Structure 1
């Protein structure tokens, strides 16, 4: 098995001129930079359009792409936008952070101008895209158009005729809102056109893209509105139960996510048709697919709808291995990473092992004073070859921030494990990276913040909080030659060079 390495960097975090990272020249430059740094993978976060809270794990569609990523400079080159218009827009004043409120107001105004000037209906490539993707695109575009008509309230607050998709209402809304429906189809066309070009460039350079999908879809999504039969909803499309996590040592009330749960018996009866479509679509989008909360396929936590906390939930059995056998039967063998973090039972371990998918190992979980035995799964000497090792993920503290917040006993345990009591604290992040890179794991993915030795002010997400997440961005000057050579050196040292 070839040993490989990669970097975790969300698209949003790329440097760019217009408020958020996207499919701009900086994305192509980053691919070149990765190649020169000896990397094999670029891992990103989900690419879907985001809703309140800006989390890529709560999207309006599991198939659509985020219009924020569309390269405005490419639209200027096409002649449907003017550079002066882009430069006059207010995307926020912090180059190192995304201002989502200003971005929302400015981006869509510009994109609508581009649509109006595009004569897109006469574009044969656009027509082909719409026909090919009609099975999800029409519902999504109509969903977004209606949503804007009703001031962006959740679809479960729409008038009953359209909330329940009565035939006459569907026709009336489609006809009345057609320019806005077509606008959303146009944005999806541009997103996929630009993403396909970027992915082709990455693959040509020998860089493979690791995509990411949440196991669940959002309640306020085109998926739930268009296909209520897939989910545990009543005859009025109100959830019967929702997803979350039980109380534990970190959260006395557990986590109430609120996503609708799947009606797994329906999926089983339809031979997992929707899941096969979803996965087939993802395997076209990405080279490798990370599935978030993999545990939910074995057992899922069900919380009665209307509960204020997760305390009164219970476990139910998921589809298990049957879904993945069906996937392989229909789609062949594809590369998947199972996000198997958190409380892992023997049955989850069995499922991951049976699928053959690599699980995830996170160094920050290795030195918890409540689990200091040498059998701890997260200690690098225990990483199996068929795993993907991380210093931390988008949900974790940076490695510098983490070391600052753990107890003195845990700090000592980490230094003891590395036989490293002399490296200055401000350089210790390099020792942790080396520790992961020399493990037996086939693949190592390091967040760019950890390679840069950044503290928790540059953290991507703090779970169960809203307001300051998903905002961090690189500045153009951060991707230095010196950093690239450091990364290449450590990658080469441990036999992971691309």
Structure 2
């Protein structure tokens, strides 16, 4: 991928302002595209757009589908404009806030709206031809997803406890289900149709305004997912279809017992025998949504930490080699431009570095990791950045820059002051790191919106190692720095990250004398 010197902002859709309890793909998303354009940014980076669930505290990295879109992001206002809902059918949700997402209240509200939209569709058949076209285009994953959703409602969560003929996907049982649950299956497909229709319209508008999207793919998928149920052969499962081994990371400086994520690990041997077809399809799906895709937990494409399923911690795991070279050789044929970013943070070994180098993946530099006792050799210091990379002040897994600064020890604060050559306090640190990232040789500089506008740790999106109170932060409409767009634009110009479009003057025709 040929990166051009530019900048972007990291903000998940759920964090946008709206009157419906959660950010969505409606007017506030279009307004944010306008802000990106006016402020001279090129990229809008997002977290995964897959469906979320209360069982996983609505983490976008723990979904029950690697292909579907999150219905909670559907805009009620756009549903009215699309004539799927009437104005009087859209009331404001109760028990919601403009500061945080109350997922329980939002889910109850949105499900009711979507149910009504489907009823209206069945009566009017508006967009029926477009809906059928969508179903045919996405058939490869949509059929399994819709069935999984219907069976979950019918038999409960935990697909290994479903009737054996459904759990094992026997042909006769599946064909019978299509007849017995025809309308419920159609409804699940319709919800996805609404999501993709609104998303494609937003992407089209962004591209018209020269804005591109950076998306994100979690490495693993949940056992409780349509993907695992439909493709059991691609995961290490026992005869009961339960995981034999699960994912995690080994003990390190931050955790004596490591991290036990609990998702089933892939059976890469079988995947390789089938030319990695499921992964290829997954990447294709994400490139329908985004212009560039960040590959989360990239090091697992080289080797992953595998833990026996019965273990309570990640201590007794082991590294298992992944056929990453063979995988990416095939991916290179499918996607010659290789529009992927490697999440290469953390402890890496030589095979990972070789994989990054072999396929020329741009990696990540996080300024929050740059300051402390280790000075000249710290790879996250700007003078050590490689041009073919992306620099961040922080990510969705970091504290905000204000919160980060307040947590620094004296050594790190002194190093930061010496490096920047400026007097720094918690009110100014975000502007210092913003300019530092803009000056970096990294081709792309990305800033969480929280850092761009200087919010404190109350605006943290996610704290790794915890499950509660994450993914809920929302920006208020008045906090989006629309009035400072010109100032940000000028800074992007100053540091070579934006060029004013050249307006060609029309040549005057010479008058005949």
TM-score by length of 2: 0.93
Q: 2:158 aligns with which of 133, 154, 157?
A: 154
Which residue of 2 is the match for residue 108 of structure 1?
111
Q: CA RMSD in A?
A: 1.5
Q: Is contact 1:451–1:487 with CA below 8 Å preserved after alignment? A: no
Which residue of 2 is the match for residue 438 of structure 1?
439
**Cα distance change, pair 83–306 in 1 and its aligned pair in 2 (3 A):** farther
Alignment of 1:292-303 (within 5 A): 292-303=296-307
Which residue of 2 is the match for residue 124 of structure 1?
129
**Cα distance change, pair 17–477 in 1 and its aligned pair in 2 (3 A):** same
- Where structure 2 has 5 or more consecutive residues not aligned to the other structure, the ranges are 500-513
Q: Is contact 1:146–1:173 with CA below 8 Å preserved after alignment? A: no
Which residue of 2 is the match for residue 142 of structure 1?
147
Are residues 1:15 and 2:17 paired?
yes
Q: Is contact 1:398–1:450 with CA below 8 Å preserved after alignment? A: yes
Alignment of 1:28-107 (within 5 A): 28-51=30-53, 52=55, 53-90=57-94, 92-107=95-110
Q: 2:409 aligns with which of 407, 410, 413?
A: 407
Are residues 1:480 and 2:481 paired?
yes
Query: Hey, what's the Cα distance between the residues in 1 that align with 2:127 and 2:495?
Result: 54
Are residues 1:258 and 2:258 paired?
no
**Cα distance change, pair 445–278 in 1 and its aligned pair in 2 (3 A):** same
Q: Is contact 1:164–1:236 with CA below 8 Å preserved after alignment? A: no
Which residue of 2 is the match for residue 490 of structure 1?
491
Which residue of 2 is the match for residue 418 of structure 1?
420
Are residues 1:375 and 2:380 paired?
no
- Where structure 1 has 5 or more consecutive residues not aligned to the other structure, the ranges are none
Query: Hey, what's the Cα distance between the residues in 1 that align with 2:159 and 2:486?
Result: 50
Are residues 1:358 and 2:359 paired?
no
**Cα distance change, pair 478–122 in 1 and its aligned pair in 2 (3 A):** closer
Alignment of 1:117-266 (within 5 A): 117-119=120-122, 120=125, 123-151=128-156, 153-266=157-270
SS in 2 for 1:495: coil
* 1:19 to partner: Cα distance: 1.1
Q: Is contact 2:96–2:106 with CA below 8 Å preserved after alignment? A: no
| Superposed CA offset, 1:393-416 (max 9, x none) | 000111111111121221111111
Which residue of 1 is the match for residue 504 of structure 2?
none
**Cα distance change, pair 121–482 in 1 and its aligned pair in 2 (3 A):** closer
Q: Which contiguous aligned blocks of 4+ residues in structure 1 show a shift greater than 4 angstroms?
A: none
Query: Hey, what's the Cα distance between the residues in 2 that align with 1:352 and 1:472?
Result: 33
Query: Hey, what's the Cα distance between the residues in 1 that align with 2:185 and 2:162?
Result: 17
SS in 2 for 1:118: helix
Which residue of 1 is the match for residue 308 of structure 2?
304
**Count of residues paired in the alignment:** 493
* 1:298 to partner: Cα distance: 0.3
Query: Hey, what's the Cα distance between the residues in 2 that align with 1:471 and 1:438?
Result: 32
Which residue of 1 is the match for residue 506 of structure 2?
none
* 1:199 to partner: Cα distance: 0.4
